[in-house]
Each structure stands twice: as structure tokens, then as C-alpha cells.
Amino acid sequence: MVLLHFTFPIYRFLTIPYNLVGIILMLAGLWINLWASNYFKKVDTTIKPFQTSTHLVTVGFYKYSRHPMYLGMLLILLGIFLLLGSLSPIIILPIYIALITRNFILPEEKMLQETFGDAYQKYKIKVRRWI
């Protein structure tokens, strides 16, 4: 994003102090990721993609998003985009969403379905993938 901002700057739409809202989004994304990481440790399940989970987490941020850690990373990227304040870095956001969904979310959801069966199916019906 930073590379795009400086090498292909397209229309700077936010300047100081308005672009500083990006810091808030970056901190929110970091907080979500730290909370999830700590909660996974608390219930003794893996945080690593493609490893079998021992606990289906459905509390905290997981009540609103099946993948709040990826959402947290998206918030960090969105915060960087706003902090930079130019349009060119926005191209990274849909690329991130597509790559994360295809390479991580879909395989993880398949593993969770196989591991937790009906419990995961009910959770999946209640809670959206992203938000």
C-alpha cells in the first residue's frame, strides 16, 4: 500500500488531521487480533491456519464475525489506506479479501465443518463470514 501510495499516487483525498482516523482503525484491528489470539490461548486451541481446532470459539468478536482476525487485518489495511490518504492503495483491499477468502477462509471453514459438524453449521447460519 505504501509502495503504491508513493510510486503511483492517485488523487490525495485525505490530509491531516482527517487521515489520522486511519490510526483508530489500525488500533481497532490490532485490538481485535490480540483479543482473539489471547482467547485462543485461554481455551487452548490453535491460532494457526490449517491446524485442527480443539475448541469452537463463538464468543466475543466471534458472535459478529466468523473470522474476526481476518477482519482485524482488513481494518489495519483500511487504516493504512486512510492514513496514506491517496486512492491508489485501495486496490489492495479487494485483493486481500479475495486471497484471504480463497486461500484461508474457505479451507478453514471446511475443516471446522468436519471437526465440529452440527455445532459449526448452526454457528455458520447465525454468524456472517466477515461482518
Q: pLDDT (tens digit, 9 = 90+) per residue, 28-67?
A: 999 999 999 999 999 999 999 999 999 999 999 999 999 9
Q: How many domains does the chain have?
A: 1
| Burial of residue 111 (number of CB atoms within 10 Å: 0-12, 13-18, 19+) | middle
User: What is the pLDDT at residue 115?
Assistant: 96
Task: Report the 10 Å Cβ neighbour count for 9.
Answer: 14
At 14, list the grid cell. 485525505
pTM recorded for the entire structure: 0.93
- Whether residue 14 is contained in a domain is answered as yes
What is the band of 10 on the pLDDT scale with cuts at 50, 70, 90? confident
Has residue 90 got a pLDDT over 90?
Answer: yes
DSSP assignment of 19-81, as one string?
Answer: GGHHHHHHHHHHHHHHHHHHHHHHTT---STTSPPSS---SGGGGT-S-HHHHHHHHHHHHHH
- Whether residue 107 is contained in a domain is answered as yes
Closest CA to 96 of 120, 118, 70: 70
Cβ-proximal residues to 77 (8 Å cutoff; 6+ apart), any chain: 1, 29, 92, 93, 96
- Whether residue 119 is contained in a domain is answered as yes
Q: Which domain holds residue 6?
A: 2-126
Q: What mean pLDDT, rounded, does the chain reach? A: 96
Q: pLDDT (tens digit, 9 = 90+) per residue, 95-108?
A: 999 999 999 999 99
Task: Report the 10 Å Cβ neighbour count for 73.
Answer: 17
- Whether residue 46 is contained in a domain is answered as yes
Has residue 9 got a pLDDT over 90?
Answer: no
How far is the C-alpha of 46 from the C-alpha of 4, rounded, in Å? 34
- Whether residue 15 is contained in a domain is answered as yes
